[in-house]
Amino acid sequence: MILAVLVCAIVFQFGIIAWLLFIKTKAPVKAEAIATNTPEKVAAFYNETTDKFLKVYGEIIQAFRTTNVEDYLKYTIESAGISNGMKIIDAGCGVCGPSSFIAQQLPEIKIDACTISEVQAKLGGEKLKEKNVEAQVKITLGDYHKLNELFENNAYDRVIFLESFGHSNNKPKVIYAAWNVLKPGGKLYIKDLFIRESANDWEQVRINHICGQINAAYEYQIGDLYEVVSAIRKQGFIISFIRPPQVDLTSFEHLTISNDFQNLFNIGKIDSWDDYVFPIDFFEILAEKPAFSLEEQKHLYHMNR
Ligand SMILES: C[S@@+](CC[C@H](N)C(=O)[O-])C[C@H]1O[C@@H](n2cnc3c(N)ncnc32)[C@H](O)[C@@H]1O
């Protein structure tokens, strides 16, 4: 009897030690959210909802912005280093709100804009006519995963993604396509939302869940910053910067528009603020395709070429 009690006590102790070890070594929850979007689903989503976006957002379909959205577009021009005389691609152009503004600001610029949505391509074409920038901006209906098939290769100074990159379900493919259309020395600019990270498992589970809901509501696939940066670097780009958009709090719009949109149309609406953890960060990434051939001059670093 005493022996049996002793054996039980030892087994129990081992059990506790094993459990403690399990808790200590258990991997932390990773930042990742479920997404089931495809380019076809994204196209159907914007064909269905563009009129709703136009009612709330106007012709600039971006959540992170300044109260006066034109100030944000001027900031974008400066931040992406866009200047007169350049040839650029606006990948995921919406209804050409940003492209037509950029064209009006920089009369010598040439822009190829592309959207996956037929409805946006039609409305965008009308907007370009209305704003008299048809000679500068051309809109193409097409999938930005195939930029290298849609547009001339080695020909562009900038490829910009303004809250459009996160719709991709194959981000390395988009980065590859952008690389091919850029000239040596040309730059990729991405402004987007990325999943937040927390050291607290409970918070990370909430963040992942809420990002999954955003993905489902908007046919999105919110990116992981490190995976995106890794794909950009593996492609051969040199990172110029990664930073939150440099907008001060007095001019920041505070995402009011995206809340209004969600409440008005019940798309991605937040039903309860209990247990809500803010799930995303906004970043802009600028990366350069080196001006020399990486294949022929592997020994070079761009800073000392
Ligand atoms: C949030 S809207 C941003 C629109 C625009 N950049 C703006 O600032 O108004 C996302 C845009 O990305 C486009 N998009 C998403 N996936 C795409 C794809 N695979 N190919 C081309 N465009 C795509 C959508 O059609 C939509 O125009």
Domain limits for position 185: 32-304
pLDDT of residue 271: 77
Contacting residues for 11 by C-beta, under 8 A, at least 6 apart:
none
Does residue 295 surpass a pLDDT of 90? no
Q: Is 3 inside any structural domain?
A: no
Does residue 171 surpass a pLDDT of 70? yes
Name the residue at shortest CA distance from atom 10 of ligand 1. Answer: 164
Q: Is 14 inside any structural domain?
A: no
Distance 20 CA to ligand 1 centre (A): 48
Name the residue at shortest CA distance from atom 16 of ligand 1. Answer: 167
pLDDT of residue 123: 98
pLDDT of residue 46: 98
289 lines ligand 1 (CB under 6 A): no
The candidate with the shortest Cα–Cα distance to 118, out of 187, 45, 52, is: 45
Tens of pLDDT along 49-93?
999 999 999 999 999 999 999 999 999 999 999 999 999 999 999
CATH number at residue 87: 3.40.50.150
Does residue 4 surpass a pLDDT of 90? no
Does residue 305 surpass a pLDDT of 60? no
Query: Among 22-31, 86-95, 212-221, which is the least confidently predicted range?
Result: 22-31
Query: Among 101-105, 113-117, 275-279, which is the least confidently predicted range?
Result: 275-279
Q: How many domains does the chain have?
A: 1
Q: Is 5 inside any structural domain?
A: no
Tens of pLDDT along 114-163?
999 999 999 999 999 999 999 999 999 999 999 999 999 999 999 999 99
Name the pLDDT band for 264 (thresholds 50, 70, 90): confident
Please give the number of the atom of ligand 1 that sits closest to the Cα of 95: 9
| 126-132: long-range contacts, CB 8 A cutoff, minimum separation 24 | 127/59, 127/95, 127/96, 127/97, 127/100, 128/96, 128/99, 128/100, 131/100, 131/103, 131/104
Distance 122 CA to ligand 1 centre (A): 14
Q: Is 187 inside any structural domain?
A: yes
Distance 117 CA to ligand 1 centre (A): 8
76 lines ligand 1 (CB under 6 A): no
pLDDT of residue 26: 79
Distance 161 CA to ligand 1 centre (A): 8
The percentage of residues in the chain with a pLDDT greater than 90, rounded to a whole number, is 81
Q: Is 20 inside any structural domain?
A: no
120 lines ligand 1 (CB under 6 A): yes
163 lines ligand 1 (CB under 6 A): yes
Tokens of 69: 């959205």
Q: Is 6 inside any structural domain?
A: no
pLDDT of residue 210: 95
97 lines ligand 1 (CB under 6 A): yes
Q: HSE of 196 in the Cβ direction (CA atoms, 13 Å)?
A: 19
Alpha carbons 286 and 197: distance in angstroms, whole number: 22
Q: Is 12 inside any structural domain?
A: no
Name the pLDDT band for 21 (thresholds 50, 70, 90): low
Distance 93 CA to ligand 1 centre (A): 5
Distance 108 CA to ligand 1 centre (A): 24
Whether 183 and 155 have beta carbons less than 8 Å apart is answered as: yes
